[in-house]
Amino acid sequence: MATYDLEEQEQLAELKAWWKLYGNLLINVFTAAMLIVSAWLGWNWYQRSQSAQASIVYQVLQKAVQDKDSQRLKAASGELLDKYSHSTYASLGALITAKAMMDSGDAKTGKLQLLWVVEHGQDELRDLARLRLAAVLLDEKAYDDALKQLDGNVGSGFAARFAENRGDVFSAQGKVREARAAYQSAVDAIDELNKKSTQSTQNRQGAAGTVYRELLQQKLDALGSSKQ
């Protein structure tokens, strides 16, 4: 029994020595881990809260569009951009506001909304804003600015549209060779996308894709075989 007590005392002494060396470190690591977990949970809660509030403002914006209330529309859009700029609702709201402003004749505000999405939006929404802004600039005959919006990488789903719009700009400038190359690039992008699509996707999108491809071919044919 005395031997057991001695072994127990030695183990206790070793434990005390180990704790003296590593106890504070262990406490600090545990505390840091708890802080990280708490911060992560808090950030998730904050994100959900922000998303919920942004959703409410977005609904107000949609209602303002339906009612054609430009003042309430601008106020809701401004709130989304100021307070919830990192949410998807901000980009969606800006795109909707841009169209509504364009339809009402306020091209300046519409362009600013589109430019905001170009600068702050992500992925497909940003690409969509670039397309719409380029179309507005084309109508204004600001060809170089339109081409700048159409330059750079885009998702495969937008490749044909971007190439087509570049063709439209070049065609408006009288640059037939560049326009033909752009339209052909759009056709090639559609064909490539069809190759990668599953059979079910092709069945759903086949009719629309065929019509769009025919439209591009018509634009190509309209340019003739000029070497300009």
Give per-residue pLDDT as tens, 32-41. 666 676 566 5
Q: What whole-number distance in Å separates Cα of residue 157 and Cα of residue 168?
A: 19
Q: What whole-number distance in Å separates Cα of residue 61 and Cα of residue 24?
A: 54
Q: What whole-number distance in Å separates Cα of residue 153 and Cα of residue 197?
A: 20
Q: With respect to residue 184, please indicate whether it lies within any of the assigned structural domains.
A: yes
Mean pLDDT of the chain: 82
Q: Is 148 exposed, middle or buried (0-12, 13-18, 19+ CB in 10 A)?
A: middle
Long-range contacts of 207-213 (CB under 8 A, 24+ apart): 212/160, 213/187
pLDDT at 213: 86
Residues 6+ apart with CB under 8 A from 173: 143
Question: Model confidence over 4-17: pLDDT tens digits?
Answer: 566 666 677 777 77
Reply yes or no on whether the pLDDT at 43 is more than 60: no
Reply yes or no on whether the pLDDT at 196 is more than 90: no
For residue 179, give its domain range: 143-228
- The amino acid sitting at 161 is R
Reply yes or no on whether the pLDDT at 199 is more than 60: no
Q: With respect to residue 100, please indicate whether it lies within any of the assigned structural domains.
A: no
Q: Could you tell me the two tokens for 5?
A: 């007590």
Reply yes or no on whether the pLDDT at 202 is more than 60: no
Question: Model confidence over 85-135: pLDDT tens digits?
Answer: 888 999 999 999 999 999 999 999 999 999 999 999 988 999 999 999 999
Average pLDDT on 180-190 reads 92
Phi and psi angles of residue 174, each rounded to the nearest 5 degrees, phi first: 80, 15
Q: With respect to residue 60, please indicate whether it lies within any of the assigned structural domains.
A: no
Q: With respect to residue 34, please indicate whether it lies within any of the assigned structural domains.
A: no
Q: With respect to residue 30, please indicate whether it lies within any of the assigned structural domains.
A: no
Choose among 79, 157, 156, 145: nearest CA to 118.
145
pTM above 0.75, yes or no: no
Domain of 214, CATH number, reads: 1.20.58
Q: Could you tell me the two tokens for 37?
A: 């977990």
Q: With respect to residue 195, please indicate whether it lies within any of the assigned structural domains.
A: yes
Q: With respect to residue 177, please indicate whether it lies within any of the assigned structural domains.
A: yes
Give strand ranges (E) for 39-176.
none
Average pLDDT on 58-66 reads 93
Residues 6+ apart with CB under 8 A from 88: 125
Q: What whole-number distance in Å separates Cα of residue 44 and Cα of residue 65?
A: 31
Reply yes or no on whether the pLDDT at 48 is more than 60: yes
Question: Number of folded domains in the chain?
Answer: 1
Q: With respect to residue 205, please indicate whether it lies within any of the assigned structural domains.
A: yes
